[in-house]
Structure 1
């Protein structure tokens, strides 16, 4: 396949975003300079503003790609044919735990790393995170509704409230796991998750 200038430009842009996602998941948004990202991506410094109007615009693009990939992976996890919904939900939280336990989570824990930081720095990035996390909660709520219908899960609250509570629970557990540097917060989160969904331990 012959690459066009448009295709090459898109690939360079995607590479900058992917490299930035990995670095910022480890160091945060403010601590990472454009030079580090562009050097790692192998892109000349002067080229950055061809692809992005500003660092904030870059951050917005980075978060949009992150959530697009995250939601696609979540859909696969929650909608495995022939698998009870309860199993898909537990698989999702197990995967969350595994990703967060990496000292370098390879760009898979961006909300935990950047959420509080960029919400105070950039309104467009805050709104992108708000929209992305709303998409996650909506998918969890839909899964809980399906699980209730099939009988693999049961919740005392409305599905949307249960989904929101579980997502916030795991965000908090992720922060505390970083503070304590152990897995106890995830153990507690999983116990509570099973209680909320009325699943055996």
Structure 2
């Protein structure tokens, strides 16, 4: 047995392979065998880690948001920037993540939300939990920007955070449809306008 095999984390390998495949093709178009063969794992091993494809999809989404939120936290805790700058840095990062491969993007929430919301309750709940945490972080950032004076915002921070997330989610879908970054640039302009930045 090689050192690589001794150190291999099969469950993580499967989750990463599925995340890439789901982000590219969607959930329904990806078969378990495709994921297994991409990492060289026999089919019997799959059920050692996951009870079903839906349980697998739920785990993929949970892992995706764990990584996403860690990256978001890194941006929103930059000590050398005021809160308004951090908010715009977060959305600039979002724009960058959607700008590769002719605006096909790599956001699993954008790719899977509409597809699985009516198909799998556990996956819908995993998406809801992840997106709720994003909105909570945006709410804190908006409140922080009002508090440090980097934004003149005086409205409802929670409702605005929800509206901004929905705006960017929709803009990401339209960027995919039009293969253009214009919807994301428009979202950035509206974000600045709403927050008075």
TM-score (norm 1): 0.91
When residues 24 and 184 of structure 1 are mapped into structure 2, their CA distance, relative to the original with a 3 A threshold, is same
Q: Which residue of 2 aligns with 1:181?
A: 179
Count of residues in Structure 1 that have an aligned counterpart in Structure 2: 194
- Render the CA deviation track for 1:29-64: whole Å, top value 9, x for unaligned: 000011110111111112111110000000000001
- Render the CA deviation track for 1:54-113: whole Å, top value 9, x for unaligned: 000000000010111111111110111121111111111111111111228898400000
How far did 1:138 drift? Answer: 0.2
Q: Which residue of 2 aligns with 1:14?
A: 12
Q: Which residue of 2 aligns with 1:126?
A: 124
Equivalent-residue separation in structure 1 for 2:152 and 2:41 (angstroms): 51
Q: Which residue of 2 aligns with 1:76?
A: 74
How far did 1:25 drift? Answer: 0.2
Q: Which residue of 2 aligns with 1:109?
A: 107
Equivalent-residue separation in structure 1 for 2:36 and 2:101 (angstroms): 23
Q: Tell me the SS of whatever aligns to 2:119.
A: coil
Q: Kindly indicate whether residue 64 of structure 2 is the aligned counterpart of residue 66 of structure 1.
A: yes
Equivalent-residue separation in structure 2 for 1:47 and 1:87 (angstroms): 46
Which stretches of structure 1, 4 residues or more, deviate above 2 A after TM superposition?
103-108, 154-157
The answer to which of 149-158 and 132-141 deviates more is: 149-158
State whether residues 102 and 179 of structure 2, in contact with CA within 8 Å, keep that contact through their aligned partners in structure 1: no
Q: Which among 151, 157, 160 is matched to residue 158 of structure 2?
A: 160
How far did 1:8 drift? Answer: 5.7
Give unpaired runs (5+ residues) of structure 2. Answer: none
Equivalent-residue separation in structure 2 for 1:47 and 1:158 (angstroms): 49
Equivalent-residue separation in structure 1 for 2:153 and 2:111 (angstroms): 30
Q: Which residue of 1 aligns with 2:137?
A: 139
State whether residues 97 and 106 of structure 2, in contact with CA within 8 Å, keep that contact through their aligned partners in structure 1: yes
TM-score (norm 2): 0.93
Q: Which residue of 2 aligns with 1:28?
A: 26
Give unpaired runs (5+ residues) of structure 1. Answer: none
Equivalent-residue separation in structure 2 for 1:112 and 1:29 (angstroms): 12
Equivalent-residue separation in structure 2 for 1:37 and 1:154 (angstroms): 49
